[in-house]
Amino acid sequence: MSETNIGTCKYCGQTRVIETAGDISEAERNAMATDLCSCGAAQAEKRARERREHINSFIDDNFDDFDGKIIREIIDQVEQQIWKSVTINMDEDRSCKIWLDSDAYLNMRIKALTTKELKV
């Protein structure tokens, strides 16, 4: 059963009527209202969250859990501009470079050299 609730954007204070599947907390209503708000700060938060989801998906598709954890930590440091760029040699035939370009876009390049050889 759908319920009508009111939530408030945490940035601009605008209230919104939101439909929920049941009773939810005020914090959850406000988070939903913020997500739906068109103010600049709410939209910036939404873009940042979507960007992080895209980064996590890319990492999950290309790295195992251990390497993915390390890559996420390095990405955080590159985004904080602790490092200008980082290149990691994962093993003898795979490397990953992470950097921010001049437009503040995060870049990741994975290079993999595949050599197949058989000697019998």
Nearest one of 102, 23, 98, 101 to 111, comparing CA atoms:
98
Q: Are 51 and 108 in contact (CB under 8 A)?
A: no
pLDDT of residue 108: 93
Nearest one of 55, 59, 80, 82 to 70, comparing CA atoms:
59
Q: pLDDT digit string (tens) for 100-115?
A: 998 888 999 999 887 6
Provide CB contacts within 8 A for 78, sequence distance 6+. 84, 85, 86, 98, 99, 100, 106
Domain carrying residue 1: 1-62
pLDDT of residue 23: 83
Same domain, 91 and 46: no
Same domain, 49 and 70: no
Q: Are strands 94-100 and 3-8 parallel, antiparallel or unpaired?
A: unpaired
Q: What is the dihedral of CA 58, 61, 63, 66, to 10 degrees?
A: 90
Same domain, 70 and 48: no
State the total domains in the chain.
2
Q: pLDDT digit string (tens) for 20-77?
A: 888 889 999 999 999 999 999 999 999 999 999 999 999 999 999 999 999 999 999 9
Same domain, 44 and 75: no
